[in-house]
C-alpha cells in the first residue's frame, strides 16, 4: 500500500512492538512494498492507532531494513532495523525458542543460550532508544509483548518524564515454570520499569505478582507493587488483567455483506455440501493443539461415529516462524497426519480434512466463519485467542457452535461455548459430537449470549481501559512529585 516519507516530529502517544503493523515484502522482480502483517497483536492494535495521532515503533520483517520513518495508510511508522544475526538470536532464538515455549507451560522445551540473551538485551535497548527519540516530553508509551520486556526499564532510565505501559499478549506462567529462566530477575525488573503492566487473564497477573514477591523484596498489595531502590523515589506499579478483544463490529459488518455470504455458500458447495462443516484457524504453532484436534476427528471417523459424507474439517494453518526447528517439525507432523486421515477416509467426492497451509485475506476468513457450523479452538495454552471472538462476532445469524479450550484466555469470558480440555481426547470427541448434534434452539441461545459479550467488550473498550489506567498512573505520580 501507499507510503509517504515523514519529517521528524515528536509524539504524545507511541506504540512499541516487535513487528510493525505492516511488513516489507519484495516480489520476484525485486519491487518492495508494504502489506498488513499477520497475527493477533496487529489485529488488536491497528484500530487503536487509527484513532490516536501517534507513532508506531517496530521492525519491518526483513533483515537490515535501514529506512526512514514514513506514513502508511494513516499510521506513522518508525522502523527499527534488525540484522540477520539479530533475527536469529533475538527473534527466532530468545523470543520464540526460549520465552514462547516457557511462557506456554513448556509444551515444547525452551532453549537457554547466553548469546541469545545478550542479543535480547542489545535489541531491547535499540527499541528503547528509538522510542525515546520520538516521544514528546511527558508522552505515553505503550510497549507490547514478550519480545520487549526489558524496554520499560531501559526507557525509564533514559526518559523518567514518560508514562510507560506494557501489555503481555501471551500467558505469564506459574512461578514453578517461570523460575527456570536464568534471567528471571532481570526480566521482572525490566517489566517493573512500566507504570502499568497488563495481562490477558487474572491468573497471569497473579503469576506475575507471585514472581515479583519471590524474586524481589518489593511489597505488593494486589494490583499494586511498591518499587523501591536506593537511587529512586518509591514508585507504584499496577499489574492487572485487561483481556484483549477485537474490532467486533467490523467483523459483523463484513459478515453482513452479500458477496461474503455468497462466498460462504460457494465454500460449502466446493466441499460437496456436507451436513456439517467444522473449521480450525490458527497460526501453525504447537500451542494451538492442531494435532489433538486431528487426532479426535480421525478417531471419530475410524469408529464410524462421524461419516466423511456428512462432516468435513477445514483447517487453515497460516505459516509462522518457519525457520525455528520446532515449527518445521510441527509442519511435517501435521501434514503427515492430514495425509494419513484423508488417505484412510476420503472418498472421490468428499475429503475428510481440507488443509490449507497459507494465509487468506480477511474477507475470506469471514466467509469461512460463516460457512462453518462448528469452530474448533483446541489450544493447549493461549493468551486470549482472537479467532474464537472473530467467529462469534461474525455470526450475526446466531448460527454456529464454538468449541473452546479451557486453556485459552477467551474461556474466562466465553462461558457459553462448549468448553473442552484438549488433552482429554475422549472428552474432545464427545464434545465435537455434541456440537454437531446441537439443536438449533440451544445453538442460537448460546451464540446470542456469546455475541453480547464480544460485541460489548470489544478492542476499543480494552484499549480505553488500559489507557485510562495509564492516565491515572500518570496523575497519581504527578501528585507525588508536586505536593500541593
Contact residue for ligand GDG among 276, 360, 398, 474 (CB under 6 A)? 360
Judged by CB under 6 A, the stretch of 259-267, 379-387, 412-420, 444-452 that binds ligand GDG is 379-387
Q: Does 39 bind ligand GDG (CB under 6 A)?
A: yes
User: Which residue in the set 92, 97, 204, 382 belongs to the binding site for ligand GDG (CB under 6 A)?
Assistant: 382
State the CB neighbour count (10 A cutoff) for residue 339.
Answer: 12
Q: How many angstroms separate the CA atoms of 453 and 6, rounded?
A: 40
Nearer residue to ligand GDG within complex by CB, 233 or 259:
259
Peptide bond into 223 cis (omega under 30): yes
CA end-to-end distance (rounded Å), the chain: 51
Would you count residue 380 as binding ligand GDG (CB under 6 A)?
no
318 belongs to the binding site for ligand GDG (CB under 6 A): yes
Min dist CB 301 to ligand GDG, Å, is 26
Does position 102 bind ligand GDG by CB under 6 A?
no
> d(Cα 146, Cα 103) in Å, to the nearest integer?
9
DSSP-H helix ranges across 138-273: 151-158, 175-178, 184-191, 202-215, 248-255, 258-270
Strand partners, 25: 33
Rounded-to-integer distance, Cα 58 and Cα 44, Å: 16
Question: Rounded to whole angstroms, how far apart are CA atoms 125 and 122?
Answer: 5
| Of 256-264, 327-335, 385-393, 444-452: span binding ligand GDG (CB under 6 A) | 385-393
324 DSSP assignment: S
Nearer to ligand GDG, 162 or 248 (CB): 248
Binding flag, residue 43, ligand GDG (CB under 6 A): yes
**508536586: which residue's cell?**
482
Is there binding between residue 384 and ligand GDG (CB under 6 A)? yes
CA distances from residue 297 to 143, 317, 381, 424, 439 in whole angstroms, order as listed: 40, 16, 20, 13, 21
Only one of the segments 41-49, 185-193, 264-272, 300-308 lies at the binding site for ligand GDG (rule: CB under 6 A); that segment is 41-49
Site residues for ligand GDG, 320-359, by CB under 6 A, read 359
Q: Does residue number 390 form part of the binding site for ligand GDG (CB under 6 A)?
A: yes
170 lies in the binding site for ligand GDG (CB under 6 A): yes
Exactly one of 101, 152, 223, 383 binds ligand GDG (CB under 6 A); that residue is: 383
By beta-carbon proximity to ligand GDG, the closer residue of 356 and 423 is 356
Helix axes 290-302, 425-437, angle to 10 degrees: 70
For ligand GDG, the binding residues in 217-246 under the rule CB under 6 A are: 244
Query: Applying CB under 6 A, does 362 fall inside the site for ligand GDG?
Result: yes
Of 21-29, 34-42, 63-71, 216-224, the window that binds ligand GDG (rule: CB under 6 A) is: 34-42
Residue 112 engages ligand GDG in binding (rule: CB under 6 A): no
Q: Which three cell numbers stand for residue 158?
A: 533514559
Sign, Cα dihedral of 30, 31, 32, 35: negative
Q: Which of residues 23, 25, 38, 65 is near ligand GDG by CB under 6 A?
A: 38
Query: Under the criterion CB under 6 A, does residue 101 sit at the interface with ligand GDG?
Result: no
Q: Among residues 21, 40, 110, 243, which is the contact residue for ligand GDG, using CB under 6 A? A: 40
What is the closest distance, in whole angstroms, from the C-beta atom of residue 392 to ligand GDG in the complex?
A: 13
Secondary structure of 338-361 as H, E, C letters:
HHHHHHHHCCCCCCCEEEECCCCC
To which H or E segment does residue 129 belong? helix 114-134
The number of residues that bind ligand GDG (CB under 6 A) is: 25
Residue 190 near ligand GDG by CB under 6 A: no
Between 40 and 173, name the residue whose CB sits nearer to ligand GDG: 40
Contact 39, 19 (CB under 8 A): yes
- Selection from 378, 451, 445, 376 nearest residue 413 by Cα: 451
* Residues 458, 460, 462, 468, CA torsion sign: negative
Q: Is 402 in the site for ligand GDG (CB under 6 A)?
A: no
CB of 230 to ligand GDG, least distance (A): 36
User: Buried b vs exposed e over 154-186: b needs ≥16 C-beta within 10 Å?
Assistant: bbbeebeebbbbbbbbbbbbebebbeebebbeb
From candidates 19, 76, 156, 169, binder to ligand GDG by CB under 6 A: 169
- The 442-481 site mask, x for binding ligand GDG (CB under 6 A), equals ----------------------------------------
Residue 263 in the binding site for ligand GDG (CB under 6 A): no
Largest CA distance in the chain: 80
Q: Is 293 in the site for ligand GDG (CB under 6 A)?
A: no
> How many other CB atoms are found less than 10 A from the CB of residue 15?
27
Residue 365 in the binding site for ligand GDG (CB under 6 A): yes
Query: What DSSP string describes 413-458?
Result: T-TTSEEE-TT-HHHHHHHHHHHHH--HHHHHHHHHHHHHHHHHS-
> Which residue number, 384 or 467, has a Cβ lying nearer to ligand GDG?
384
Q: Which residues bind ligand GDG (CB under 6 A)?
A: 38-41, 43-44, 169-170, 244, 281, 283, 316, 318, 359-362, 365, 382-387, 390
Amino acid at each position: 500500500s501507499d507510503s509517504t516519507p515523514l519529517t521528524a516530529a515528536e509524539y504524545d502517544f507511541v506504540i512499541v512492538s516487535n513487528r510493525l503493523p505492516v511488513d516489507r515484502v519484495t516480489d520476484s522482480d525485486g519491487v518492495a512494498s508494504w502489506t498488513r502483517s499477520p497475527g493477533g497483536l496487529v489485529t488488536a492494535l491497528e484500530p487503536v492507532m487509527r484513532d490516536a495521532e501517534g507513532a508506531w515503533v517496530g521492525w519491518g520483517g526483513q533483515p537490515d531494513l535501514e529506512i526512514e520513518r514514513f506514513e502508511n495508510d494513516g499510521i506513522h511508522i518508525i522502523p527499527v532495523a534488525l540484522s540477520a544475526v539479530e533475527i536469529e538470536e533475538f527473534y527466532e532464538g530468545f523470543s520464540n525458542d526460549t520465552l514462547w515455549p516457557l511462557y506456554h507451560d513448556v509444551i515444547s522445551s525452551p532453549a537457554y543460550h547466553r548469546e541469545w540473551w545478550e542479543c535480547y538485551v542489545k535489541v531491547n535497548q535499540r527499541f528503547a532508544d528509538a522510542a525515546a527519540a520520538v516521544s514528546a516530553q511527558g508522552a505515553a508509551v505503550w510497549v507490547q509483548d514478550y519480545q520487549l520486556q526489558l524496554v520499560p526499564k531501559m526507557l525509564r532510565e533514559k526518559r523518567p518524564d514518560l508514562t510507560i505501559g506494557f501489555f503481555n499478549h501471551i500467558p505469564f506462567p506459574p512461578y514453578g515454570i517461570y523460575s527456570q529462566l536464568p534471567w528471571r530477575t532481570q526480566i521482572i525488573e525490566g517489566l517493573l520499569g512500566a507504570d502499568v503492566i497488563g495481562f490477558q487473564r487474572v491468573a497471569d497477573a497473579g503469576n506475575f505478582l507471585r514472581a515479583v514477591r519471590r524474586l524481589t523484596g518489593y511489597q505488593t498489595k494486589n494490583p499494586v507493587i511498591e518499587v523501591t531502590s536506593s537511587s529512586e523515589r518509591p514508585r507504584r506499579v499496577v499489574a492487572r488483567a485487561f483481556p484483549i478483544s477485537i474490532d467486533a463490529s467490523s467483523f459483523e459488518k463484513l459478515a453482513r455483506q452479500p458477496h461474503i455470504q455468497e462466498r460462504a455458500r460457494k465454500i460449502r458447495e466446493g466441499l460437496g455440501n456436507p451436513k456439517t462443516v467444522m473449521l480450525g484457524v490458527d497460526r501453525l504453532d504447537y500451542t494451538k493443539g492442531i494435532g489433538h484436534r486431528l487426532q479426535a476427528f480421525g478417531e471419530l471417523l475410524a469408529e464410524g461415529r462421524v461419516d466423511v459424507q456428512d462432516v468435513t474439517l477445514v483447517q487453515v494453518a497460516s505459516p509462522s516462524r518457519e525457520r525455528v526447528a520446532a515449527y518445521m517439525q510441527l509442519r511435517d507432523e501435521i501434514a503427515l497426519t492430514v495425509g494419513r486421515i484423508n488417505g484412510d477416509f476420503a472418498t472421490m467426492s468428499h475429503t475428510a480434512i481440507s488443509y490449507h497451509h497459507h494465509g487468506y485475506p480477511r474477507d475470506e476468513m469471514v466467509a469461512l466463519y460463516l460457512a462453518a457450523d462448528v469452530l474448533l479452538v483446541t489450544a493447549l495454552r493461549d493468551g486470549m485467542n482472537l479467532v474464537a471472538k472473530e467467529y462469534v462476532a461474525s455470526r450475526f445469524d446466531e448460527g454456529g457452535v464454538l468449541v473452546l479450550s479451557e486453556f485459552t484466555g477467551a474461556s474466562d469470558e466465553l462461558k457459553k461455548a462448549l468448553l473442552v480440555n484438549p488433552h482429554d481426547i475422549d472428552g474432545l470427541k464427545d464434545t465435537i459430537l455434541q456440537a454437531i448434534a446441537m439443536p438449533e434452539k440451544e445453538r442460537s441461545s448460546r451464540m446470542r449470549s456469546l455475541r453480547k459479550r464480544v460485541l460489548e467488550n470489544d478492542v476499543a473498550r480494552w484499549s480505553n481501559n488500559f489507557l485510562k489506567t495509564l492516565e491515572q498512573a500518570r496523575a497519581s505520580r504527578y501528585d507525588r512529585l508536586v505536593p500541593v
